Amino acid sequence: MSSNQSTSSSGARPSFKLRSIVWNFFKFPIDGSKTTITCPACKLDLKYSGSTTGILHHLTARHGDEYKKLLDKKKSGKIALQSREESDIELAKAFATSLTPFRFAENPEFRKFIENKPDDFVLPTAKKVKKIIDDLAEVHMETTKDELEGVNNFTILTDGYSDLRRNYHFYSLHVAYINATFEKKVLVVEWVHRQFDASKAQGYSGDRYLPRRTWNTNYLQQHDTRYL
């Protein structure tokens, strides 16, 4: 059954514009109390509670050829651009397959990127992303050095994080001080991460096995540490 037949069969269409691509295959339920939708191809009754996630999965998994036809029509301009709901689903899949924490969706830098990215944006490679981060880190350290010039009294702070299985450890070194306008400033001056290999450390805890790291504290050693 073609997608055109399935959209035009029995029942009037709603007055608002349907944004999901699934409604070019399934018939939209006019009766809002209905909890199932019948697949026009295999006649299977599918659960429906207002979200198209389940029926979209059925369409892609059971009727891949029909779904491909819909995508081809979309690319040719015959169907509206991808709906917000479908974009949400693709983003959620990316989070799940990359083990990215769900709270990253609320990351302010990520949200800024989504809002400001140009229409012709092309995703960079992993190598390019790493280079950008390295360059930003170098600029940050140079800026930090300039900002710490003239600061004689400060406090050294440390912080750390380990995952639940204690396989990954992250440590950071900060300098806190009060500036000339009596504002509290906390700057990152060093960080290090360690991967814990349990196969090489039988009988040892993750913390005990971590190799020691000498912090780059040349700058700090030249200044007054009486208040630490």
Instruction: Work out the average pLDDT over 176-185.
Output: 88
Position 214, amino acid: T
Domain boundaries, the chain: 3-116, 128-221
Q: Is 11 a residue whose pLDDT tops 50?
A: no
Q: Given the structure tokens 């005990």, which residue do they identify?
A: 208
Among 113-127, 137-151, 159-173, the least confident range: 159-173
Question: CA 36, 41, 43 angle in degrees (round to 5)?
Answer: 45
Closest CA to 192 of 177, 176, 214, 167: 214
Tokens of 176: 């806190």
Helix axis angle for 53-62 and 64-75, nearest 10°, is 110
What distance separates the 2 farthest-apart alpha carbons in the chain? 83
Position 162, amino acid: S
Instruction: Work out the average pLDDT over 129-147.
Output: 86
pLDDT of residue 95: 92
Between residues 216 and 194, which one has the greater pLDDT?
A: 194
Check: pTM over 0.75? Answer yes or no. Answer: no
Quickly state the pLDDT bin for 85 (edges 50, 70, 90). Answer: confident
